[in-house]
């Protein structure tokens, strides 16, 4: 198993797609989470509160005490989609290149190969999660300095909890991408179906849950609302960041974490089962 994991880590490190997706998300998280709101604040800071929002509330959400919650709030709509693509790319490429047979004839069991790929995906998503938090913290510190506001940082336990929340959300979406790539035997179809689910179906369910109470239970089982619940738990105010699309809070942090962990276990388990029972040559 260790040899499989080392091989998959090396393969992941040499895949341009993994670097592109990771780098793109780190850049986009700063753009969506910090740069764009700061530019909007510069445009409305001297205007009275109106349809454009409260300038003080907007800028306060970018300062160090709230940057962690704001970063996690980017995952229901944006980050989970990129992490799903990462999972699909890391596994779907084996179908496109026809290399499953080569992997499986070298000795390791099929389950070990899937778990090795999952371990490599976990390592990649952890690195991306840490980078997103570090770059977000730097941007938040810069905004605090530019606006002359105090920088009150979260304590170490909260920072680690934030990184853990981002990693858990990332792994839930990545595991879904891995499963779809195995199920659909390719990258493109897996990405298409996954994005349809995350960006369309989940948001549709969340939008209708306010009207149809029967959907509230379903909403608690979705990646986006669970991610929004973790973001809300990290916010000092305890309120969801409604300025970012798709952010809703439907459960406590423990329940949301259990649901997201279940996504990882179930989808990786199903992936291993499919690979074990299929003709992969």
Contact 259, 226 (CB under 8 A): yes
Contact 194, 176 (CB under 8 A): yes
Whole-number pLDDT of residue 135? 95
| Dihedrals phi, psi of 53, to nearest 5 degrees | 100, 175
**pLDDT tens digits along 39-97:** 988 888 777 665 556 778 888 888 898 889 889 989 988 899 999 999 999 888 776 66
Neighbour count for residue 45 (Cβ, 10 Å): 12
**pLDDT tens digits along 265-279:** 999 999 989 888 876
Number of domains in the chain: 1
Report pTM. Answer: 0.90
State mean pLDDT over 156-167. Answer: 93
- Tokens at residue 71, please? 């970063």
3-state class (DSSP) for residue 224: helix
Rounded Cα gap, residues 276 and 23, in angstroms: 33
Rounded Cα gap, residues 263 and 140, in angstroms: 31
* Domain limits for position 168: 2-277
């Amino acid at each position: 198993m260790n040899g499989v994991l080392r091989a998959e880590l090396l393969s992941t490190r040499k895949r341009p797609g993994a670097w592109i997706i990771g780098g793109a998300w780190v850049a986009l998280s700063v753009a969506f989470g910090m740069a764009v709101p700061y530019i909007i604040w510069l445009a409305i800071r001297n205007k009275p509160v109106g349809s454009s929002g409260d300038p003080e509330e907007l800028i306060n959400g970018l300062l160090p005490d709230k940057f962690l919650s704001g970063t996690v709030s980017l995952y229901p709509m944006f980050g989970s989609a990129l992490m799903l693509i990462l999972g699909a790319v890391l596994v779907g490429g084996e179908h496109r290149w026809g290399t499953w047979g080569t992997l499986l004839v070298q000795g390791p069991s099929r389950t070990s190969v899937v778990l090795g790929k999952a371990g490599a995906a976990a390592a990649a998503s952890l690195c991306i999660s840490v980078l997103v938090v570090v770059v977000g913290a730097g941007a938040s510190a810069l905004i605090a300095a530019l606006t002359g506001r105090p920088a009150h940082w979260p304590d170490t336990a909260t920072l680690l909890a934030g990184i853990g929340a981002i990693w858990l959300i990332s792994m839930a979406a990545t595991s879904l991408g891995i499963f779809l790539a195995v199920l659909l035997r390719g990258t493109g179809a897996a990405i298409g179906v996954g994005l349809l689910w995350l960006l369309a179906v989940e948001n549709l369910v969340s939008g209708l849950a306010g009207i149809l109470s029967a959907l509230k239970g379903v909403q608690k089982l979705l990646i986006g609302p669970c991610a929004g619940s973790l973001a809300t738990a990290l916010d000092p105010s305890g309120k969801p960041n409604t300025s970012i699309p798709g952010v809703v809070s439907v459960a406590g942090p423990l329940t949301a974490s259990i649901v997201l962990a279940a996504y990882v276990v179930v989808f990786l388990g199903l992936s291993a089962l499919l690979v074990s029972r299929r003709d992969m040559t």
